[in-house]
């Protein structure tokens, strides 16, 4: 059940299920542009022929084996400076969902979800702006559920971690439950609580880790996220801020 006495279930009340689509985010964007989709709608696909990750990365998934979805959120008065808290509530909800299945995960900034440094879920957030306000957001979530073979990719799935099959419908209902719980906190502007939870699960937070940027490999400590959403790393040369794709995490060299 998605309902709870503590909040009103909004996300996922309307679902659109597609057998195949190039990208659920593309489909959602087109429907949003035409005014044919409402807040809280979830677009599901058995197969994405051109699934996308952050900054043009490709999301690879076996048809029918995983959860591939996009969630549409619309806002009236959400300032662009608060966009990072959208990422916080989505990422934390996904980690909490995995915990309900007995799987412990970490968030690799900004929103890859890892289990023992192997990717189990990816999140793509695309905001539509009206001046300094976010008018709507399309959140793409790719979650590895029953796929067991990922080739050379450093990835895993619920089935690999649990050793048992999980139905896509069960995974969806459980994920929507957590999304509603943490969206409720987001709506109530409980940003500091969400940020604390995000940092609790953030890979390498307040720990010395190895990274690589355009200048080479270096040791650093993640200390926070800037107001504009950049990753803040304390290095021997001082504090530096990085955008997505400007820094690589050397996951296999050090673990928590």
Verify that 170 and 241 share a domain, yes or no. Answer: no
Domain count, the chain: 2
- Label residue 8 by pLDDT band (50, 70, 90): low
Verify that 214 and 174 share a domain, yes or no. Answer: no
What pLDDT shows up at residue 63?
83
Verify that 114 and 59 share a domain, yes or no. Answer: yes
Number of Cβ within 10 Å of residue 255's Cβ equals: 10
DSSP characters over 197-247: HHHHHBTTBTSEEEEEETTEEEEEEEEEE-TTSPEEEEETTEEEEE-TTS-
Query: What is the chain's mean pLDDT, rounded?
Result: 91
What pLDDT shows up at residue 207?
96
Verify that 193 and 233 share a domain, yes or no. Answer: no
The domain that holds 243 is classified in CATH as: 2.30.30
3-state DSSP call for residue 83? coil
Q: Range of 240's domain?
A: 208-253
Cα–Cα distance for residue pair 138/242, rounded to 1 Å: 23
Mean pLDDT, range 49-56, rounded to an integer: 61
pLDDT one-digit tens code per residue, 178-218: 999 999 999 999 999 999 999 999 999 999 999 999 999 99
- Label residue 174 by pLDDT band (50, 70, 90): very high
Tokens found for residue 180: 């509603």
Predicted TM-score (pTM) of the model is 0.91
Cα–Cα distance for residue pair 242/99, rounded to 1 Å: 29
Sign of the dihedral through C-alpha 161, 162, 164, 170: negative
Verify that 214 and 191 share a domain, yes or no. Answer: no
Verify that 73 and 136 share a domain, yes or no. Answer: yes
Cα–Cα distance for residue pair 108/155, rounded to 1 Å: 13
DSSP characters over 29-40: HHHHHTT---TT
Verify that 130 and 65 share a domain, yes or no. Answer: yes
pLDDT one-digit tens code per residue, 98-124: 999 999 999 999 999 999 999 999 999
pLDDT of 238 strictly over 80: yes
What pLDDT shows up at residue 51?
66
């Amino acid at each position: 059940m998605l309902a709870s006495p503590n909040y009103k279930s909004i996300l996922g009340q309307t679902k659109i299920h597609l057998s195949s689509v190039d990208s659920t985010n593309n489909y959602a964007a087109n429907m949003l542009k035409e005014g044919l989709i409402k807040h809280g709608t979830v677009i599901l696909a058995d197969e994405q022929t051109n699934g996308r990750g952050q900054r043009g990365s490709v999301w690879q998934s076996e048809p029918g084996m995983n959860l591939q979805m996009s969630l549409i959120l619309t806002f009236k008065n959400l300032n662009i400076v608060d966009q990072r808290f959208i990422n916080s509530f989505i990422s934390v909800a996904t980690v909490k969902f995995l915990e309900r299945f007995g799987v412990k995960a970490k968030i690799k900034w900004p929103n890859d979800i890892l289990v023992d440094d192997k990717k189990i879920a990816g999140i793509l957030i695309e905001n539509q702006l009206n001046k300094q306000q976010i008018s709507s957001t399309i959140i793409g979530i790719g979650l590895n559920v029953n796929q067991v073979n990922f080739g050379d990719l450093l990835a895993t799935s619920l089935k690999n971690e649990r050793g048992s099959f999980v139905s896509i419908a069960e995974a969806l209902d459980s994920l929507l439950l957590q999304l509603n719980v943490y969206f409720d906190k987001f709506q109530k502007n409980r940003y500091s609580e969400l940020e604390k939870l995000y940092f609790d699960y953030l890979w390498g937070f307040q720990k010395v880790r190895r990274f690589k940027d355009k200048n080479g490999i270096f040791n650093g400590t993640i200390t926070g996220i800037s107001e504009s959403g950049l990753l803040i790393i304390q290095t021997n040369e001082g504090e530096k801020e990085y955008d997505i794709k400007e820094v690589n995490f050397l996951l296999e060299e050090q673990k928590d």
